[in-house]
């Protein structure tokens, strides 16, 4: 092992993740849970729109996620839509 590198065990990673989760405020936890819920809904509706080839519904879902139309994220989302 070279100087300055450390091996991080899986237990250490889990412990660090747990401590980070515990350090979140109640508000941050609620916001994270809400974001997760929104993404789950988006995933379901976006997949339906892709399968139906419904660009209007897909664009609406992207806007609900507040993805800017001139962003790289928007362009990548449309690449996914047209590849499906």
Cβ partners under 8 Å of residue 1, min gap 6:
7
More confident residue, 11 or 79: 79
Q: What is the pLDDT of residues 4-54, one digit of tens each?
A: 455 557 787 887 777 777 766 778 888 889 989 988 998 999 999 999 999
* pLDDT at 1 (0 to 100): 47
**Locus of tokens 């991080």:** 8
Q: What is the pTM of this model?
A: 0.58
pLDDT of residue 8: 59
CA distance 64 to 56: 12
């Amino acid at each position: 092992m070279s100087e300055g590198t450390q091996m991080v065990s899986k237990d250490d990673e889990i412990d660090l993740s747990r401590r980070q989760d515990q350090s979140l405020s109640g508000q941050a936890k609620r916001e994270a849970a809400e974001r997760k819920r929104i993404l789950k809904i988006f995933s379901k509706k976006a997949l339906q729109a892709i399968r139906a080839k419904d660009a209007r519904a897909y664009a609406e879902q992207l806007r609900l996620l507040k993805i800017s139309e001139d962003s790289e994220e928007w362009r990548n989302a449309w690449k996914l839509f047209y590849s499906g």
